[in-house]
Structure 1
């Protein structure tokens, strides 16, 4: 039994090596992104572990079938970039890691909310662009306990975010198409998303990307939000229409945004060894705004999360090769 790990980052390598040693399994790794051409590197292996936001195409699964590779184990949660029908047609079974560290992403969302609420971006602008370092009345922020936080999506990550915001004294409301049976007195579900939009000072998105929520946050939605509201997106870039977000920020429809994931993320974004200069005009525009904190899809990135992503992904490959049905099998 031997596996290959694609798109590995330098910080993942020690965890890959340790897992292989602890389990007595040969594990190779490559920094290469997985596609129909690079899959040739997997020839002779019994399974592939991968983490990327670029598409897993029909052609890739056809190549895997021709090579006799039946198992693809993701190191992340989302499957919105996978041609699941093509995987099934080519007899490739897929697993994911639904809960590698919900707290890691939740903490990052709260950090973004604090950064924006306390106007840290304006302080940095004064220092970085104006080369000044002094008090300003424009730096006056708001306490978290003064604000209503709207959580969209109350799965594992959303629930962790609720605990943290509640711990800071925020009033927390939430919306989910499939609500939890109990809220434990930590938050209140609203009847519809419109109610959440109009009541929230901070909106934090924690739902998976689907066809139904593609560009759900658009000009129409931003108009309904408070002009003092902050938007936090640590979920998926496709949920927010970038052009409309830029307009909302520039026109004052909303007060700020924390963006960890953007539309059409490139393979280069996940290349930890890249030295390329940023050229995406939307990223450049957002990065220059003091009321925006933009980060390269890194909300998950803690030692606990990386360890769990490696361990669970590779253990799922063992289960598949042993003929077992992993609990993380994607149907």
Structure 2
């Protein structure tokens, strides 16, 4: 039994090596992204572990079948970038890691909310551009406890975010297409998404990307939101129309945005060793805005999360190769 791990970051290597040693299984790792060319490196291996948001295409799964590879174990939650019918047609079983560390992403969403609520971007802009600092009316922020936070998606991450926002004294309202039957009275569900849009001072997105929510946040929605509202997206870039978001930020339709995921993320963005300069015009434009905090899909990135992602992903591969069904199987 031997596995290959793609798109490996430096901080993952110790956990990969330890897992292989502890389980007596050969595990090769590579920094390359998994695609039609690099999949050839997997010849002779029993399974692949991968972490990326670019596409896993039908052609890629045809290559899996040709190479005799039946198992793909993701180190992340989302499967919206996977051609699942093609995987099934080529006999490839897929697992994910649905709960590697909900608190890691939830904390990041709260951090972004605090940064934007307290106008830190405006302070940094003055320091960076003018090399001076003095009190300014533009620096006056708002307490989280003064605000209503709308959380969209009440899975593990959404629930962790709700707990943290509630801990800071916020009023929390939530929405989920499939609401929890028991909330322990820790929050209330809004009657509709429109209520979330219209009443929230901060909206934090924690739902998976689907065909139904593609560009859910667009010009029409931004018009419904308060002009003092902040949008936080640590979920998937496709949920937010980037062009409409930039217009909303520039025109004052909303007050700010924390963006950890953006549409059409490149492979370079996910390459921890890449020395290429960022050239995406939308990323560069938002990076210069004092009312935006944009980060390179890093909300998950804590030591606990990385360890869990490796351990669960490789554990799922071992389970499948041994002919058993892992609990994280994606149907």
TM range (shorter): over 0.9
Matched residues in 1 for 2:142 and 2:223: separation?
A: 22
Structure 1, unaligned stretches of length 5 or more? none
- Quote the residue 2:267 is aligned against: 267
Q: Secondary structure at the match of 1:12?
A: helix
Deviations 1:59-116 (A, max 9, x none): 1110110111100000000000000000000000000000000000000000000000
Q: Secondary structure at the match of 1:203?
A: strand
Cα shift at 1:184? 1.3
Cα shift at 1:137? 2.1
- Quote the residue 1:25 is aligned against: 25
Question: More displaced, 96-105 or 177-186?
Answer: 177-186
- Quote the residue 1:257 is aligned against: 257
| TM norm structure 2 | 0.99
Matches within 5 A, 1:1-331: 1-331=1-331
Cα shift at 1:305? 0.3
Cα shift at 1:136? 1.6
Deviations 1:19-68 (A, max 9, x none): 00111110000001101211110011000000000000111110110111
Matched residues in 2 for 1:45 and 1:29: separation?
A: 12
Deviations 1:104-147 (A, max 9, x none): 00000000000000000000001001111222221010001100
Q: Secondary structure at the match of 1:232?
A: strand
Matched residues in 1 for 2:299 and 2:222: separation?
A: 24
Provide the aligned C-alpha RMSD in A. 0.5
Matched residues in 2 for 1:90 and 1:231: separation?
A: 40
Cα shift at 1:302? 0.1
Matched residues in 1 for 2:184 and 2:142: separation?
A: 27
Matched residues in 2 for 1:169 and 1:61: separation?
A: 48
Aligned length: 331
Q: Secondary structure at the match of 1:53?
A: coil
Matched residues in 2 for 1:195 and 1:50: separation?
A: 38
Deviations 1:210-269 (A, max 9, x none): 000000000000000000000000000000000000000000000000000000000000
Cα shift at 1:186? 1.3
Q: Secondary structure at the match of 2:283?
A: helix
Matched residues in 1 for 2:196 and 2:60: separation?
A: 41
Matched residues in 1 for 2:320 and 2:210: separation?
A: 27
| TM norm structure 1 | 0.99
Matched residues in 2 for 1:219 and 1:235: separation?
A: 19
Matched residues in 2 for 1:284 and 1:171: separation?
A: 34
Question: More displaced, 176-185 or 145-154?
Answer: 176-185
Cα shift at 1:182? 1.4
Matched residues in 2 for 1:63 and 1:5: separation?
A: 17
Matched residues in 2 for 1:184 and 1:140: separation?
A: 35
Matched residues in 1 for 2:138 and 2:211: separation?
A: 40
Question: More displaced, 135-144 or 83-92?
Answer: 135-144
